[in-house]
Amino acid sequence: MSAAHKIRSLPMMILIALGSLIIGGTAYIDHATGQNLSSLCFYLVPVFFFIWFTTRRIGTLVSILCATIWFLENTGDKTHIFHSEISYLNMSIELVFFFLVTLLLSSLKEALGINEALSRVDALTGAVNRRAFYDLAGREIARLERYKHPFTVAYMDIDNFKVVNYKFGHRAGDQLLRSVADTVRKNLRKLDIISRFGGDEFTILLPETGAEAAQAVLSRMRNVLLNSMETNKWPVTFTFGTVTFIKPPASVEEMVKKVGSLMYSGKDSGMNTIEQEIVDA
């Protein structure tokens, strides 16, 4: 996890406290230097902090607060002499520039957030992609190591998917993949994750889920999927490889290799089945 993600994961009250310290330090420097140094640009530091690590609304409020502190500090300095309207005009221009930069920072964060979200999602099905799955699975492994709560991973393959592409065309194949992803998503909890691993293979991450609960969930899901395929007259079935981890795997790669091997074992033994295993040692 990057330093930015670690900071963003801190509780909001801690972030606000850290940001307030930055504002206080900036205001002190502004007061100490007087009019010898134009300090408005330094107030962009706490503004950047709040915009980047909290919410857009808080960042905007902090921007107004910083601009107000700077303005009061400048107009309240007895050693500063204003020359007609020119000084006020210069201050107004500086404030406009300050708010423009604040707006640009906020827009940049929003654009980067959208880009990051898109880079983690499979464009066809809306499921998370392999990269995002590895990140989320890594966090789940770390959570298991710390709290000793089991989780389950399922590797699902669509049996005879090539038949659909050959018989009905690739457009129908794409429609089938979207239907599978939507059906799985609707039958999962909000904290569960479906990922398209590539082609017609999906992985499902079930946090805080033991073997018995996972078996019930996946059996029900396979039945729902089969009914959906029958309704659409798609001649496919589903093979699952499912592993419940009570002891954490050494890595995400090892986890994927194990659950994938179990799924291929199910395909070799006749397909349309759920192969299940528990790792507790």
Residues 206 and 257 in one domain: yes
89, 119, 149 - which closes a domain? 119
Residues 162 and 262 in one domain: yes
Instruction: Give pLDDT, residue 200.
Output: 96
Instruction: Give pLDDT, residue 169.
Output: 94
The token pair that represents 14 in the structure block:
């801690």
- Neighbour tally for 19: CB within 10 Å: 21
Task: For residue 124, tell me if it sits in a domain.
Answer: no
Residues 157 and 275 in one domain: yes
Closest Cα partner for 280 from 231, 247, 254, 232?
247
Domain containing 63 equals 3-119
Residues 26 and 65 in one domain: yes
Kindly give the parts of the chain with pLDDT less than 50.
Answer: 78, 81-82
Task: For residue 216, tell me if it sits in a domain.
Answer: yes
Residues 174 and 102 in one domain: no
Residues 176 and 205 in one domain: yes
Count the domains in the chain: 2
Task: Please state, in angstroms and rounded to a whole number, the distance separating the CA atoms of residues 221 and 72.
Answer: 63
Residues 99 and 137 in one domain: no
E strand or H helix at 194: strand 193-198
Task: For residue 260, tell me if it sits in a domain.
Answer: yes
Residues 183 and 239 in one domain: yes
